[in-house]
């Protein structure tokens, strides 16, 4: 054994790195792939952090070495997938672990259409692997840039009442705990850990493997239609959300209109998407520039939004484009510019009330008919506000921290605010406070990954009957507090720092 192995990292790990990295089976030192100058930021560049070490392990042994060292040195670990969570869930000044280099196929079960994958695999890589086998993901959100572990960690969803969230396809997973032990879990094995880890917020350990349940590949015939928003609300309770397998609505509050996008499986030949005005550089640049000017002259926003709506779709009601595409191409979309997003899950039947009250508020709210106790004066918002659905009551195995409704279908309302050239629009916090007040009034719960600003720890505990179980299990599997990061402490765990990790830190401080 070379006692000087990994000398460059001793400043961070002490001598432990030489002994712990020694692999007697191979007679070599396990690689410790660390960078000391990594600058982390979220996709929308809303949050930044400088981790002490940025670690990109490529094998399970390398992951275990990191965990064992972190425990010995009293370090916290935050795992980051693709960094697409809009809030600061992934920020840390301690050790940041990324599994981009741990993303291969571990096992294939062709009979059951299941793939066991290393958890750093991105959704687009997984979709490609599935496609090679004639399989597909049953459901998807708007993009495929996320890692599979990151996507399920915050309960990423798509838009379909015939599906739950993406975690529905995760039939098993392996998690490495702060002890260095790896536990496999599923509905049959370590069930509690499985249900807690389906939405783990990175707080239980490092998910290293996921068993993914695929479906036979399918194509989707989709169409989008311009419909006046009040007409959609009138049809809410008929077949609006059930007439297609996948359906979503983009609500444009300054246009009086929405787009209803719907898709069903088909055997028709593939047909390209229609031209997208803001898919071209000129449309995209002029839209972003107009939004940028609107940050100084916010009253321009409705004019910009109406213009963009008519360029991208059409002003008259009726069909506004269709295509036939592979499922992963059809379900994903262009999310345009860096953005703030605040998405809440409310009961589906509350949708019309939510949209009407928010529209009233955005229209000036004379006489405070919306009931929202914040002034709408000077507030101008971006479009669309995304309106999507899921039904996790169809999901056999429910994550304990599933934010969707437990007794019926869920509506997700996503208040997007673009950050043109990375500039926040004015008064965004008042808008989000008002929006969140309304969502809470309607029994809502925020999407874990997004930019909610007014929800306290006490409120989260009140929102989740399983929160106590989740926190107790978390403390039991991570007595070292290695995965109790700042975000979790602020939002769920509290600031009490009585974990074993603190004691280790204190001991290190004394030596």
Q: Which residues sit at the interface with ligand FAD, rule CB under 6 A? A: 43, 78-86, 89-90, 99, 119, 141-143, 146-147, 149-151, 153-154, 156-157, 200-202, 206-207, 335, 447, 449
For 301-350, where are the alpha helices, taking DSSP H only?
A: 301-312, 327-331
Tokens read off for 397 = 């195995």
Residue 355 beta carbon to ligand FAD: minimum distance, rounded to whole angstroms: 19
Alpha-carbon span 421 to 365, nearest angstrom: 31
Tokens read off for 407 = 């007794």
Q: Using CA of residue 268, residue 272, residue 277, residue 279, what is the dihedral sign? A: positive
Residue 276 beta carbon to ligand FAD: minimum distance, rounded to whole angstroms: 16
Residue 143 beta carbon to ligand FAD: minimum distance, rounded to whole angstroms: 4
Please identify, using beta-carbon distances, which residue of 142 and 213 lies nearer to ligand FAD.
142
Alpha-carbon span 219 to 245, nearest angstrom: 12
Check if the beta carbon of residue 347 is closer than 8 Å to that of residue 411: yes
Residue 336 backbone class (left: φ over 0; alpha: ψ -120 to 50; beta: rest): left
Residue 107 beta carbon to ligand FAD: minimum distance, rounded to whole angstroms: 17
Please identify, using beta-carbon distances, which residue of 6 and 447 lies nearer to ligand FAD.
447
Residue 12 beta carbon to ligand FAD: minimum distance, rounded to whole angstroms: 20
Alpha-carbon span 419 to 294, nearest angstrom: 11
The torsion angle over the Cα atoms of residues 152, 158, 161 and 162, rounded to 10 degrees, is: -70
Please identify, using beta-carbon distances, which residue of 85 and 392 lies nearer to ligand FAD.
85
Residue 145 beta carbon to ligand FAD: minimum distance, rounded to whole angstroms: 7
Alpha-carbon span 397 to 391, nearest angstrom: 13
Please identify, using beta-carbon distances, which residue of 73 and 149 lies nearer to ligand FAD.
149
Nearest to 157 by CA among 456, 470, 405, 457: 405
Please identify, using beta-carbon distances, which residue of 376 and 446 lies nearer to ligand FAD.
446
For 268-413, where are the alpha helices, taking DSSP H only?
A: 281-294, 301-312, 327-331, 351-362
Q: Are strands 22-23 and 28-29 parallel, antiparallel or unpaired?
A: antiparallel
- 444-481 burial, b at 16+ Cβ within 10 Å, e below that, comes to bbbbbbbbbebbeeeebeebbebbeebbebbeebbebb
Residue 444 beta carbon to ligand FAD: minimum distance, rounded to whole angstroms: 15
Please identify, using beta-carbon distances, which residue of 18 and 103 lies nearer to ligand FAD.
103
Please identify, using beta-carbon distances, which residue of 338 and 376 lies nearer to ligand FAD.
338
Residue 368 beta carbon to ligand FAD: minimum distance, rounded to whole angstroms: 32
Please identify, using beta-carbon distances, which residue of 90 and 359 lies nearer to ligand FAD.
90
Residue 177 phi/psi, 5-degree rounding, is: -85, 175
Residue 331 beta carbon to ligand FAD: minimum distance, rounded to whole angstroms: 9
Alpha-carbon span 162 to 391, nearest angstrom: 7
Contacts of 6 (CB under 8 A, 6+ apart): 13, 17, 18, 21, 29, 32
Alpha-carbon span 44 to 47, nearest angstrom: 8
Please identify, using beta-carbon distances, which residue of 200 and 359 lies nearer to ligand FAD.
200
Residue 281 beta carbon to ligand FAD: minimum distance, rounded to whole angstroms: 19
Tokens read off for 298 = 């916010």
Q: Are strands 48-49 and 40-41 parallel, antiparallel or unpaired?
A: antiparallel
Please identify, using beta-carbon distances, which residue of 61 and 430 lies nearer to ligand FAD.
61
Please identify, using beta-carbon distances, which residue of 339 and 359 lies nearer to ligand FAD.
339
Residue 367 beta carbon to ligand FAD: minimum distance, rounded to whole angstroms: 36
Check if the beta carbon of residue 232 is closer than 8 Å to that of residue 249: yes
Residue 386 beta carbon to ligand FAD: minimum distance, rounded to whole angstroms: 8
| DSSP one-letter string for 200-247 | -TT-S-EEEEEEEE-EE--EEEEEEEEEEHHHHHHTTTTTTTTSSSEE
Please identify, using beta-carbon distances, which residue of 380 and 448 lies nearer to ligand FAD.
448
Please identify, using beta-carbon distances, which residue of 12 and 43 lies nearer to ligand FAD.
43
Residue 333 beta carbon to ligand FAD: minimum distance, rounded to whole angstroms: 8
Nearest to 487 by CA among 449, 432, 430, 440: 449
Nearest to 331 by CA among 136, 484, 508: 136
């Amino acid at each position: 054994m070379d006692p000087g192995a990994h000398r460059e990292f001793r400043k961070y790990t002490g001598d432990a790195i030489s002994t712990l990295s020694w692999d007697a089976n191979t007679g070599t030192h396990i690689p410790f792939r660390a960078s000391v100058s990594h600058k982390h930021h979220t996709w929308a560049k809303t949050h930044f952090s400088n981790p002490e070490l940025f670690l990109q392990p490529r094998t399970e042994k390398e992951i275990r070495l990191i965990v064992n060292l972190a425990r010995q040195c009293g370090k916290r670990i935050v795992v980051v997938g693709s960094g697409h969570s809009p809030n600061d869930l992934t920020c840390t000044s301690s050790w940041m672990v990324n599994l981009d280099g741990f993303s291969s196929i571990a096992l294939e079960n062709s009979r059951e259409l299941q793939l066991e994958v290393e958890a750093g695999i991105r959704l687009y890589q997984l979709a490609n692997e599935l496609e090679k086998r004639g399989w597909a993901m049953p459901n998807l959100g708007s993009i495929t840039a996320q890692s599979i572990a990151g996507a399920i960690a915050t309960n990423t969803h798509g838009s379909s009442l015939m599906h739950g969230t993406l975690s529905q396809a995760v039939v098993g997973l392996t998690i490495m705990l702060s002890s260095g032990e790896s536990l496999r879990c599923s509905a049959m094995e370590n069930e509690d850990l499985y249900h807690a880890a389906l939405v783990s917020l990175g707080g239980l350990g490092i998910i290293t493997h996921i068993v993914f349940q695929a479906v036979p590949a399918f194509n989707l015939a989709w169409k989008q239609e311009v419909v006046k928003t009040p007409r959609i609300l009138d049809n809410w309770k008929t077949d609006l959300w059930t007439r297609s397998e996948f359906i979503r609505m983009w609500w444009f509050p300054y246009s009086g209109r929405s787009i209803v996008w719907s898709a069903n499986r088909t055997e028709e030949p593939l047909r390209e998407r229609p031209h997208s005005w803001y898919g071209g550089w000129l449309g995209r640049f002029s839209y972003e520039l107009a939004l940028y000017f609107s940050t100084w002259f916010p009253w321009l926003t409705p004019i910009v939004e109406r213009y963009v709506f008519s360029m991208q779709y059409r002003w008259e009601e009726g069909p506004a484009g269709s295509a036939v595409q592979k499922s992963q191409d059809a379900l994903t979309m262009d999310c345009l510019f860096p953005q703030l997003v605040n998405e809440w899950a409310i009961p589906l039947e509350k949708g019309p009330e939510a949209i009407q009250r928010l529209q009233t508020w955005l229209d000036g709210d004379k006489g405070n008919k919306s009931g929202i106790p914040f002034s709408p004066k000077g507030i101008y918002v971006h479009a669309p506000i995304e309106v999507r659905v899921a039904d996790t009551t169809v999901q056999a195995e429910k994550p304990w921290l599933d934010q969707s409704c437990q007794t019926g279908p869920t509506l997700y309302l996503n208040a997007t605010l673009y950050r043109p050239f990375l500039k926040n629009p004015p008064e965004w916090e008042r808008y989000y406070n008002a929006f969140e007040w309304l969502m809470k009034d309607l029994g809502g719960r925020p999407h874990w990954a997004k930019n909610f600003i007014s929800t306290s720890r006490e409120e989260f505990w009140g929102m989740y009957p399983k929160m106590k179980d989740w926190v107790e299990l978390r403390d039991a599997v991570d007595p070292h507090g290695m995965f109790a990061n700042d975000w979790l402490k602020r939002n769920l765990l509290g600031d009490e720092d009585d974990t074993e990790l603190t004691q280790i830190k204190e001991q290190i401080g004394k030596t």
